Structures are given as C-alpha cells and as structure tokens.
Amino acid sequence: MSPSSPAREIPAVRLVEVSKAFGDLVVLDRVSLAVAKGETALVMGGSGSGKSVLIKHVVQLLRPDSGEVWVFDRRVDTLRGAELDAVRLSVGYLFQGGALFDSMTVGENIDFLLERHTRLDAAGRRARVEELLEWVRLPQLALRYPAELSGGQKKRAALARALALEPAIMLFDEPTTGLDPVSVRAVSELIVRLREERGITSLVITHDLLCAEITGGTVHFLHDAAIVASGDLDAVRRAAHPVLGNFFGG
Amino acid sequence: MTLSAPRIDKRNPARRFLEKTGELAAFAGEFVRSLGRRPFEFRELLRQMDEVGLKSFALTGVTGLAIGVVLAMQSRGTLVRFGAESMLPSMLALSVIKEIGPVITSLVLAGRLGAGIGAEIGSMRVTEQIDALEVAALRPMQYLVATRVVACFVMFPILTAWTDAIALFGGYLESVISSGTDYRLFLSSAFESLRLSDLLVDTLKTSVFGLVVGLVSCYLGFTVRGGTREVGRAAMEAVVLSSLLVLLTDVIVVRLSLILFGDISG
C-alpha cells in the first residue's frame, strides 16, 4: 500500500468515543466514526436516534460531553473563535429544512457568503452564483425568495449556498426528508456528483433507503445511542441486529 | 389529529425567574462584548435603523397627534375652572416632553418591535437560520443582535422627539380650534417652563428603553426552542416583558435624573 493511499490518509472527519446527553437522556454513548477523504458515509437510524445530534458535533453546533471530534488534523471540540471559524469554512452544511435566509433571495443567500469570505468583486460573485445555481440545476431562480421555492428546490438552493466557499467536506442533515421520489433522486444524485466531480467528502444523515441506495458509500446504523452496524448498505441490511430487520423491512 | 400538549416547565417559579434573569444578564454581557468585535455590521445596522426608525414614524406620529389633541381637550376644562387656561401650552409641553411622550412612544415601539424582533429571530432559530450563520463562520450575536439593539438605542430618542413635536402640534391644533390661540404665544408659553436639561434627559432616557426593548426581544427570540407555537409565545413575551421593563426602568431613570438635575421647580 502506498503512503498516499486513502487508508493511510488522515480521515476527513473522525469522532472518537463521543458522548452527549441532554439531562437524563443519553443521545450518543461513546460513538466512534471515521469518514475517509473523498468518501461518502451515511448515518442511518430511526427518528430520534441522535443522527442530527451526531452531525452537529462536526461543526460544533453541539459540544460533546466527552470524546474527541476531528476534522482532518484539527481537533475541533477544543477550538473557539477564529480557529473554529477556519475549520467551519472548510465544511459545508445542508440543514434539514435548507435554512436559507428568508429575507434574502436565493442569489443573495449565496452572494452573502461570497461577499463575507472571498475577495471576489461584484461581477465575480455574480458569475459564481450563476455557476453554482447551474450546477444544482436551478439556473433561473436567483431572484426568487425561499418562500417561493418547492421543498426540493430549497434543498438544492441551500446546497448551492453550502458549496459557495468550496468546502472539502459536506454534511447533509436529512437531505431528502419531506421530498417526493423525483426530488429525492435529484438531491441524492447531487451528492453522488459531489463525490465524483469535486471529490468532496460527504457525511449524510438519513433514514431514506432510496437516498442511501443512490448515494452508496459506507452506512453506519445508529440505535440506542450507539452505532450497531457499519458497512455497505447490503451488509448492514444483513447484520444480525433485531432493529435492522424492522428498519429495513426484512 | 393529535396535538402535543404544551411543554410545562415544572421548576420552582422563583428559581426559573432567577435562571432567566441570569441568562438575560449573560446575553447582555455577550452583546456588550460583540460591540468590540470586528467586523462591525454597518450595512445591517442601517437596515435595522430603517426597520426600527423610518417604518415607525407613521405609527408614532399618529400616537403623538392623538396624545396632544386628547391631552389638550381633557385639560382645558379643568384649567378654565381655575382660571388658568393660559397655562395650557406650558402644561402640555411639560406633560408630553417629560413623561407622556417618552413613555407612550417607548410602549408603542415595545409593542411593534418586541413582537417583530422576537418573532423574526425566533423563527430564524427554529428554522436553523441562526445555526446556518454560525457554520458559515458569521456571528449571529454581531449580525442579528448587536445591530437590532443598537438600532433601538439610536432610534428611540429620535422617534420620541418626533412624537413629542407632533403631540405639541396636536395640542396647538386643539387650542386653535377651541380658542384661536396664536402659534407664537403657544410656543413661547409652552417652552418657558422647560429647561434644556429636561428636554435632553427626558428624550435621551428613551435610549435606555430602546436598549431594554432590543435586548429583551432579541434574547427571547434567540432562546426559542421548539416550533411555531414557541415563536408566537416568544413574540408575546417580548411585548409584555419589554413593556413592563420600560415602565420599571422609567421609575429608576426619573429618580436618577431628579437626583442629578433636580425637579422643574429647582
């Protein structure tokens, strides 16, 4: 194995024995997880199993009670201020509802980040906004407000915003929840294109089987505050844990 | 269809009050620290000053006009009975500028802005827009809170001065209609019993009210947990708490100004 082979590289995202509780409710109990650079990993599990809590630790929207969270070679759970900002800028985050700023148009949502974090002039930013909206297949919607978009369009517009600063890692929190099958397919295919065209590492939180089938990648199944199975989708389906049978309908 | 029961906080009310007060104090401290951090969100501040100020001019103007006209109508009879009708402009100016104008303007603004800020920031919280700002390495405290609180701090006295002026104009209109008062006589009589310190202190004290309204509304919106019902509750609580705190702060500020500047007769 060559030194530069993926197995020897530092993982893009790594959680080491992370625990998190809200009062008496233990949501994560010494959960460990690693996502290799360029890989797509999925965290699956039922509603309320702590999937979103897990992903929020990567960008420190939540801090662990114990354990370590790493993004490449930076331990982020100890970072504050500008150092944490620097890590956050290398990570894009697609929120469950899109979280587009509703007082701004789609184009302004993207431009807002470009203006704050790049040296592009107005023309350069405009070109970048158009390019990003073209990439998510929403070329004509720059002037629309989020309230005027369908669920699938909101997710794709939010993805365009998340990609504005060219992150190395993308986090997806239930990217297909509430979407019709056609939109589920469209959003899932964008996740695949991110990996294939841009080499972006993705960590996807989902309970949507269609999304998991389309995106592929390593599946980690979260149940009772712990990861109970990991592997490709077929391997996880076949794993001998009673909850998996119920979840996958087998 | 089933509706979930509202979450009821079963902790001791006194403890809850102390916890909330502590949280609000910490939030205020974070606001003060955010003022020293760069970048300063100047464009957003201007947008908020427009939102708080320019868009409240009509509301406070109508309020002022009503105050002036009604106060003049109500007081005229009593003053006539004591043969002191000529005191009307002076009484109007004193009442409006020293107390009624600042407090009523601040209460009206607490209603409009408390609900608006509480609901806007609360809805940004529950739809994860505040989280989206954070993961984009933008500071919600600077972008959302500092701009709104500073806008309230700056715009409250300006709107109060405007309301006071319109209230006096309303009182003058009533006087013209009732007794044909000359405007030069009205103006000289109105301001002869006022000192510059009264004008300044009683107008500028509304900056403190603006600070209170802005901070409380932002805090309640920022700490919303749950969904739309909690957003509605935060907006309502922002109005109630802001209004109460405006009245309580007024007592403290008036007491302090009396200690520092003495009363009108002094």
A95 compared with A2, residue with greater pLDDT: A95
- Cα angle at A121 between A119 and A126, to 5 degrees? 115
**Tokens found for residue A108:** 């302004």
pLDDT in the model for residue A2: 42
Q: Do B170 and B72 contact (CB within 8 A), yes or no? A: yes
Nearest chain B alpha carbon to A80: B137
Does B137 sit within 8 Å of A85, measured CB to CB? yes
Per-residue pLDDT reduced to its tens digit, A140-170? 899 999 999 999 999 999 999 999 999 999 9
d(CA B51, CA B144): 13
Q: Which residues pair with A22 in a beta bridge?
A: A25
Smallest CA-to-CA distance from A35 within A193, A172, A211, A201 is with A201
Residue A1 pLDDT greater than 50, yes or no: no
Tokens of B152: 């309230």
Q: Which of B132, B137, B138 sits opposite A99 (nearest CB)?
A: B132
Instruction: State both tokens at A40.
Output: 């797509």
Contact: A88, B138; criterion CB under 8 Å? no
Q: CA angle, B139 as apex, B138 and B140 as ends, to 5°?
A: 115
How far apart, in Å, are the Cα atoms of A103 and each of A106, A148, B47, B73? 10, 12, 12, 44
> B129 and A61 in contact by Cβ < 8 A?
no
Token pair listed for B233: 């509750």
CA-closest candidate to residue B256, choices B201, B207, B210, B206: B201
Residues of chain B with pLDDT > 90: what percent? 66
**Window 157-186 of B, Cβ < 8 Å to A:** none
Residue B31 in this model has a pLDDT that exceeds 80: yes
A100 CA to chain B: closest CA distance, Å? Answer: 7
Nearest beta carbon to residue A113 from set B131, B134, B136: B136
Into which CATH architecture does domain A6-90+167-248 fall?
3-Layer(aba) Sandwich (3.40)
Q: What's the token pair of residue B35?
A: 């003022």
State ipTM.
0.91
Q: Decide: B129 and A102 in contact? Cβ < 8 Å.
A: yes
| CA dist., res. A144 & res. A151, Å (int) | 14
Among residues 182-241 of chain B, which lie with CB inside 8 Å of chain A?
none
Percent of chain A whose predicted confidence (pLDDT) is above 70: 96
Q: How far apart are the first and last CA of chain A?
A: 38
The burial class, CB within 10 Å (0-12 / 13-18 / 19+), for B107 is: buried
Alpha-helical segments (H) within chain B: 13-35, 42-52, 57-81, 88-95, 101-126, 129-135, 140, 147-179, 183-192, 196-222, 228-261
DSSP A75-121: EGGG--HHHHHHHHTTEEEE-TT----TTS-HHHHHHHHHHHH----
B256 has pLDDT over 70: yes
The predicted-structure confidence for A120-131, as pLDDT tens digits, reads as follows 999 999 999 999
CA A68, distance to chain mean position in Å, is: 19
| Percent of residues, chain B, with pLDDT higher than 70 | 94
pLDDT (tens digit per residue) in B84-135: 888 889 999 999 999 999 999 999 999 999 999 999 999 999 999 999 999 9
CA distance A72 to A37: 9
- What's the pLDDT tens digit per position in A66-87? 999 999 999 999 999 899 999 9
Q: What is the mean pLDDT of residues B189-213?
A: 89
- CA B60 to each of CA A136, B51, B52, B91, B158: distance values in angstroms, whole numbers, following the listed order: 47, 14, 11, 21, 11
DSSP per residue over A130-169, as a string? HHHHHHTT-TT-TT--GGGS-HHHHHHHHHHHHTTT--SE
| Distance to chain A for B208, nearest Cα, Å | 28
Residues B127 and A117: their CA atoms lie apart, in Å, by 23
pLDDT band for A3, please (50, 70, 90 cuts): very low
What ranges do the domains of chain B cover?
41-260
pLDDT of residue A4: 43
Which of B7, B135, B147, B225 should one mutate to test binding to chain A, selecting the residue with the greatest count of A CBs within 10 A? B135
> Between B88-95 and B57-81, two packed helices, what is the crossing angle to 10 degrees?
140
Give A243's contacts (C-beta < 8 A, 6+ positions apart).
Answer: A46, A221, A223, A228
Q: Note whether A100 contacts B129, CB cutoff 8 Å.
A: yes
* Domain ranges within chain A, ordered by starting residue: 6-90+167-248, 103-166
Contact flag A61-B135 (C-beta cutoff 8 Å):
yes
